[in-house]
Amino acid sequence: MMTLALAPAELKSMVDEIWSSLFQPVPTDADDADMGSDLVVGFVDISGGWLGRVAVETTDAGAVAIASSMLAAEPHTLGDEDLADAIGELANIVGGSVKSCVEGQSSLSLPSVERQNVLRHGTSELMTVTTHWLDHPLRVRVQQIRVVEELTANGAHHLDAAS
Amino acid sequence: MLAMVIDDSRAMRSILRRIVVELGFDVVEAADGQEALDKMSAGEVPDLALVDWNMPVRDGLSFVTEVRANKEWRGVTLMMVTTEGEHAQIVRALAAGAHEYVIKPFTPDAIMDKLQILGLVGVPA
């Protein structure tokens, strides 16, 4: 079983590096990030020897600020498609950085964006970075999907996700 | 000179567009490798293509392979701009015919440095 060689402090450094490359200023540390019911989540899945999900979470207003910066567009001109594109690409970049810490060959899914928690059944939270950017809550979560071999009632083996 | 920015993210295309326009390029965009090939077949052959790896329809590696297989496009400089940072992936892209490789996230200076190495932009005095 391959492993993810990444510590929480390194994930925070990754987030800072990504923000300093794409945006200004870098996010500030926060103890909590209350998203309320306004959640926007971009995520990618890593597959191969290590299975996991990397999610970037913010609020609708945070997503507007991110998309506005990436697209160099006025906030009032942005639609849901623009927010999804920007948050998805951000998840793709964070996910790619996390993937580089997986030992051995692995692959990255195309990004998806949802307006709800995307913690999968059978995943366990490995680490979370909670910050604020321009007063918007921002959270990066790395989750591991644990695959175990189970014996079904009829004796056949199948693979299932379990925490 | 003409640059083609090939990425399925409009946000990323926008970022790359601003960088290369600042360096003096005219820019066309494509949302995947197939759209890029279609535009090139229709006559929009760039001097430089900035190519993402993971895209729907046709990925960046397949695009690079197709461009390199066409003698009429041998003058196109190919630069991968991607989250794929593993050494093995970089080797695959360079073996397929990419000239340079930039890992996301990048700074404008990183893109400019690579284009200077490729001789596509001048070195500041």
CATH 3.40.1550.10 is right for the domain spanning A8-161: yes
Tell how strand A28-29 and strand A39-48 pair up. Answer: unpaired
B6 neighbors B33 (Cβ within 8 angstroms): yes
Determine the 3-state secondary structure of A7 from DSSP: coil
Say what the pLDDT of residue A148 is.
Answer: 53
Q: Does A42 touch chain B (CB under 8 A)?
A: no
**Which domains are assigned to chain B?**
2-117 (3.40.50.2300)
B71 min Cα distance to partner chain A (Å): 32
Q: Does A96 touch chain B (CB under 8 A)?
A: yes
Q: Does A108 touch chain B (CB under 8 A)?
A: yes
Residues of A in contact with B80 (CB under 8 A): none
Determine the 3-state secondary structure of A139 from DSSP: strand
**Partner-chain contact A72 B85, CB within 8 Å:** no
B83 neighbors B101 (Cβ within 8 angstroms): no
Domain boundaries, chain A: 8-161
Higher pLDDT, B117 or B86: B117
The amino acid that residue A26 corresponds to is: V
To which residue do tokens 């379990």 refer?
A162
The amino acid that residue A56 corresponds to is: V
CA B27 to chain centre: 11
**Partner-chain contact B83 A95, CB within 8 Å:** yes
Say what the pLDDT of residue A152 is.
Answer: 46
A64 neighbors A77 (Cβ within 8 angstroms): no
Q: Does A72 touch chain B (CB under 8 A)?
A: yes
CA atoms within 13 A on the CB side of B67: 35
Rounded average pLDDT per 10-residue block, chain A, 163 residues? 83 92 84 81 92 94 95 95 96 95 89 85 83 91 74 43 36
